[in-house]
Amino acid sequence: MNPRIVISGAGVVSALGLGKGANLEALRSGRSGVGSVRYLRTELRELPVGEVPIENDPLLSRTSLMGILAVREAMQQAGISGADYLISGTTVGGMDLTEQSWPRYNPSHDCGSITNEIAAATGRFGCVTTLSTACSSAANAIILGANLIRSGKAGIIVAGGTEALSDYHLHGFNSLMILDRNRCTPFTEGRAGLNLGEGAAFLVMESMESALQRGAKPLCELSGYGNACDAFHQTASSENGEGAFLAMQKALAMAELKAEEIDYVNAHGTGTPNNDASESAALRRVFGEKLPPVSSTKPLTGHTTSASGSIEAVFCMLAMQEGFIPLQAPGTDDPACISPARGKGSAPAQLKHVVCNAFGFGGNDSSIILSAL
């Protein structure tokens, strides 16, 4: 029999602030952290970004620094000093330091070295591993952690993702012509693209039996998850949202839930014309006429790319615990898209089951379901 997997600790840093308290306050009030460039060295200073409010460290990549802060908060809440695994999702890695030292190459800036630095600074881990699947990286780290627990190969796992802004990937997204010159407006008519952001979030995951045996307080349950890759295009999403549809279907099947039992969907919702229309098609295929409230929190944080899945999973957990739905600012809905939950700040809601979507380039799409206890 598969064990029930629970979250016993969580940590997050984003453009909304450091720690769960600051992020919760911003989510409830609708305060956005997207604004002018402050820390990133780039010539593209006219583009709004979501930067974490911390100064650069001369020795550590911001990717490592943010990951350390989030892991420490998660482990402190869970009451642990180590775990069987630390699993981190990142794609940019230490690119910010590479840019400062270029043209000298430093191999310590790769993705795996970032996870090693986080592990060295935060605790004792039996195994350290890194996933890079673009914007589904952190969600896939959570899925890998859950599979290790379900298989009996691990007891306690710290999983999530971290990603710093870099000039390299800011220019890369700009070359795709999918960056908005204003704050992004997912699912809205006339939307022009996304805002890049940075941040980190990690979850402490274990079986319900493990948490109760050591006297830890479970925060919520990871009741279902799914990953699918439709391989439609290197960067574009398919018109019918096949990968996203399959990921949500798999998550619902694992959780043994009907679509109408979902109370809220935290959409991937990047603000690009292609992504939002594709995700809308997938949502309509899954939920039909009974679409639950849907919103994207990326207008608040920017798109944190590889870290988005874990950051938004923490947001979903906070929303369940505190009883609210994060709302999107008022705007004109695009007829090709779903109509998101709009308003100022947040709306009171009792949330039992929530879906969190994270979709990556190449059609690598993941969905997780968190359930209240």
DSSP 124-138: EEEEEEEE-BTBTHH
Q: Which are the catalytic amino acids?
A: 135, 268, 303
Whether residue 198 contacts residue 334, with contact meaning beta carbons closer than 8 Å, is answered with no
For 310, phi and psi rounded to 5 degrees? -80, -35
Whether residue 76 contacts residue 172, with contact meaning beta carbons closer than 8 Å, is answered with no
Which amino acid does the sequence have at 351? L
Whether residue 63 contacts residue 111, with contact meaning beta carbons closer than 8 Å, is answered with no
* Of 286, 330, 297, 331, the residue nearest 201 (C-alpha): 297
- Residue identified by tokens 């190449």 is 362
H helix or E strand, kind and range, residue 254: helix 242-255
Please state, in angstroms and rounded to a whole number, the distance separating the CA atoms of residues 153 and 235: 34
CA distance from start to end of the chain: 19
